[in-house]
């Protein structure tokens, strides 16, 4: 069974699932180079089919994560009238149905535009937005035991929060709430009030929060957020009319309340407001989890939806919710709906009785050494070929150089996890400021994350656990705070990637080689991009970023490119 999953709306994406095995997964932004691209995912679909060695006519199902259909779907697929009727039923609006029926056909695009013709018996399946998030969360981990599933985001298909009981192939809805319960919108409004984009800058708000004191805000933010008590929405919040516009493929949202929250920011200070917003979200979600775990008698929690990109929230759940197991789908935002829709369709149609066990996110494009060599030669660039790229990179990192690392298949999701990374030694505190200023071009308070050997995690993490996806934070050990200060945040936490040899042998070899030279089995690892741009996808993207930033070295496949290093740069300890 061959299923193409599509995420519509903002952060469009596509994935390919074949007999329950994830073959490919990528967001359109990586191909278009437009952050949060909302256009029809032409590039992502073409890549997924190529990665699977399939033609579009081989597909059995198209699974769409949400009731809102991607604009242009009927044109790119050239659907039949029967398929159009199925799509119209997913979004039961008479006008939409008429439009689909009139537009259906394969000859509605310019000749040079990609087309994905389907067999007449290829079926479209619609998966409600939050069911897609829930399916991504539950069906991407191996256990078939009963789990509590919680999904939280801004809003999708008129739902902002949902609770599920999951077992085997089934997701049983328990309760859900609409826009009046949106903790995601609350956090987004605070983000806008702080001066960053709603729907993009929430990670910056989270990074600022540890520098503030929530008590200095008091209850002045409380009136802008919904309140839950004992699993009930006791204080629904009226957000008013949301305005939005599509800016070159990227959606921007605005709520009138952002201006009122900015008044609180002006009175109380940006860091203090960020701290109080973070506190409100953590306490509300923690209360929901505790209530439904007790009510349903469940101690395993799976989470999906964009709010769970908040790693500090996930840390609170791991430490304080009394759970036996916590699993956060590592691509929990709307780009992850492609996988969620495909997994929901697979379990509905095939009833396989087993789950996908997600051990990595390396589902994007890869490029051969010969392809990379040809590009470097065509550009007339000086490079050398390393017998061991991991050893070469480790040597430069030990000399305190900033290294671009481009290897293997691009990661899906918002984090760089060992394939499209910018790396540096974490042994000097000033390296954080150096990277923010010279390479990432972002605020100096923004933290960086470590990639560390899984077998050495106890050296760096309090109450250490496996965390291969950088989706939750841990308290740093006292020794780690002294030894790797560039990746310890202001509140004494780390957001780690624990790297296992069996799942990422080359990245594991790099960190091991660095450990042999420095004694530290940990490197600073951040995404290979600059602020406001998607993570690099192709070798050309990597070269652009390398030459337009303060990167010192690029290790791209087996090839090493170097720039002169400023003589004032201190070496790593």
Q: pLDDT tens, 428-478? A: 999 999 999 999 999 999 999 999 999 999 999 999 999 999 999 999 999
Residues 126 and 151 grouped into a single domain: no
Residues 306 and 399 grouped into a single domain: no
Residues 380 and 324 grouped into a single domain: no
Confidence band of 120 (pLDDT split at 50, 70, 90): very high
DSSP code per residue over 471-484: -S-EEBPHHHHHH-
> Structural domain tally of the chain?
3
Confidence band of 569 (pLDDT split at 50, 70, 90): low
Residues 11 and 36 sit within 8 Å (Cβ to Cβ) = yes
Closest Cα to residue 292, out of 157, 176, 156, 181?
176
Structural domain boundaries enclosing 281: 141-328
Residues 315 and 181 grouped into a single domain: yes
CATH of the domain at 289: 3.30.420.40
Residue-wise pLDDT tens digits, 341-391: 999 999 999 999 889 999 999 999 999 999 999 999 999 999 999 999 999
Find the helix or strand (DSSP H, E) in which 72 lies: none
Residues 125 and 40 grouped into a single domain: yes
Residues 9 and 334 sit within 8 Å (Cβ to Cβ) = yes
Would you say residue 345 lies in a domain?
no
Average pLDDT of span 164-171:
96
Average pLDDT of span 270-274:
98
Would you say residue 70 lies in a domain?
yes
Residues 379 and 481 grouped into a single domain: yes
Confidence band of 95 (pLDDT split at 50, 70, 90): very low
Confidence band of 543 (pLDDT split at 50, 70, 90): very high
Residues 411 and 517 grouped into a single domain: yes
pTM score: 0.95
- How does DSSP classify residue 68? S
pLDDT over threshold 50, residue 490: yes
Helices 270-296 + 257-268 axis angle, to 10: 120
Distance CA 214, CA 257 (A): 20
Task: Provide the 10 A C-beta neighbour count for residue 102.
Answer: 11
Residue-wise pLDDT tens digits, 67-93: 888 878 888 888 888 888 888 777 654
Domain final residue, candidates 73, 99, 130? 130
Q: Which of left, alpha, beta for 240 (phi over 0: left; psi -120 to 50: alpha)?
A: left
Domain final residue, candidates 279, 312, 328? 328
pLDDT over threshold 60, residue 255: yes
Residues 113 and 150 grouped into a single domain: no
What phi and psi values does residue 250 have, to the nearest 5 degrees?
-115, 125
Average pLDDT of span 519-532:
96
Domain final residue, candidates 270, 297, 328? 328
Would you say residue 334 lies in a domain?
no
CATH of the domain at 73: 3.30.420
- β-strand partners of 151: 162, 304
Residues 223 and 86 grouped into a single domain: no
Residues 291 and 166 grouped into a single domain: yes
CATH of the domain at 527: 3.90.870.20
Would you give the distance in Å from CA 183 to the centre of its chain? 18
Confidence band of 106 (pLDDT split at 50, 70, 90): low
pLDDT, greater one: 570 or 491? 491
Would you say residue 569 lies in a domain?
no
If you compute the radius of gyration of the chain from its CA atoms, what whole number of angstroms results? Answer: 23
Residues 245 and 378 grouped into a single domain: no
Confidence band of 100 (pLDDT split at 50, 70, 90): low
Residue-wise pLDDT tens digits, 500-523: 999 999 999 999 999 999 999 999
Would you say residue 57 lies in a domain?
yes
Residues 89 and 153 grouped into a single domain: no
Residues 555 and 393 sit within 8 Å (Cβ to Cβ) = yes
pLDDT over threshold 80, residue 196: yes
**What ranges in 227-362 are assigned the alpha helix state H?**
257-268, 270-296, 311-320, 337-350
Q: 106: buried, middle or exposed (CB in 10 Å: 19+, 13-18, 0-12)?
A: middle
pLDDT over threshold 50, residue 219: yes
- Percent of the chain residues topping a pLDDT of 90: 85
């Amino acid at each position: 069974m061959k299923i193409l999953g599509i995420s519509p709306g903002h952060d469009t994406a596509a994935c390919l699932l074949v007999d329950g095995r994830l073959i490919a997964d990528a967001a359109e932004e990586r191909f278009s180079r437009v952050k949060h691209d909302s256009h029809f995912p032409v590039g992502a679909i073409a890549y997924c089919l190529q990665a699977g060695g399939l033609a579009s006519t081989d597909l059995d199902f198209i699974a769409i994560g949400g009731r809102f259909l991607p604009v242009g779907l009927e044109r790119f697929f050239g659907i039949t009238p029967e398929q159009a009727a199925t799509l119209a039923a997913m979004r039961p609006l008479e006008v939409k149905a008429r439009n689909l029926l009139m537009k259906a056909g394969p000859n509605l695009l310019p000749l040079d535009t990609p087309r994905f013709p389907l067999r007449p018996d290829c079926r479209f399946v619609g998966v409600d937005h939050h069911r897609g998030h829930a399916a991504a969360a539950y069906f991407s981990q191996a256990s078939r035991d009963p789990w509590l599933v919680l999904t939280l985001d801004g809003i999708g298909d008129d739902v902002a929060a949902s609770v599920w009981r999951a077992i085997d192939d089934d997701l049983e809805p328990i309760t859900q709430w609409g826009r009046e319960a949106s903790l995601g919108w609350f956090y987004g409004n605070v983000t806008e009030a702080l001066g960053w984009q709603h729907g993009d800058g929430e990670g910056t708000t989270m990074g600022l929060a540890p520098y503030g004191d929530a008590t200095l805000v008091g209850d002045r933010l409380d009136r802008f957020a919904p309140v839950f008590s004992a699993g009930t929405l006791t204080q629904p919040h009226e957000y008013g009319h949301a305005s939005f516009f599509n800016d070159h493929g990227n959606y921007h949202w605005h709520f009138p309340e952002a201006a009122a929250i900015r008044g609180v920011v002006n009175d109380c200070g940006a860091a203090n407001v960020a701290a109080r917003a973070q506190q409100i979200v953590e306490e509300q979600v923690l209360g929901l989890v505790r209530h439904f775990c007790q009510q349903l008698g469940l101690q395993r929690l799976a989470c999906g939806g964009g709010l769970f990109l908040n790693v500090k929230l996930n840390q609170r759940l791991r430490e304080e919710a009394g759970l036996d197991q916590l699993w956060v789908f590592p691509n929990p935002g709307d780009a992850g709906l492609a996988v969620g829709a495909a997994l929901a369709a697979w379990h509905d149609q095939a009833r396989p009785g087993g789950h996908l066990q997600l051990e990595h996110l390396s589902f994007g494009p890869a490029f051969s050494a010969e392809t990379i060599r040809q590009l470097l030669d065509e550009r007339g660039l000086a490079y050398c070929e390393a017998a061991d790229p991991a050893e070469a990179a480790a040597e430069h990192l030990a000399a305190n150089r900033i290294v671009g690392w481009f290897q293997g298949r691009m990661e899906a999701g918002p984090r760089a996890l060992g394939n499209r990374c910018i790396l540096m030694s974490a042994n000097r505190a000033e390296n954080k400021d150096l990277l923010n200023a010279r390479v990432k071009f972002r605020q100096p308070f923004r933290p960086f994350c470590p990639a560390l050997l899984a077998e050495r995690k106890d050296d760096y993490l309090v109450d250490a656990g496996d965390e291969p996806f950088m989706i939750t934070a841990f308290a740093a050990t006292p020794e780690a705070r002294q030894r790797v200060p560039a990746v310890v945040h202001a509140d004494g936490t780390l957001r780690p990637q624990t790297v296992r040899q069996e799942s990422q042998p080359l990245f594991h070899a790099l960190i091991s080689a660095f450990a042999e030279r420095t004694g530290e089995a940990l490197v600073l690892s951040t995404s290979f991009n600059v602020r406001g741009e998607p993570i690099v996808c192709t070798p050309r993207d990597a070269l652009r970023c390398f030459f337009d930033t303060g990167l010192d070295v690029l290790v791209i496949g087996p090839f090493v490119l170097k720039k002169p290093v400023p003589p004032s740069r201190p070496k790593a300890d």
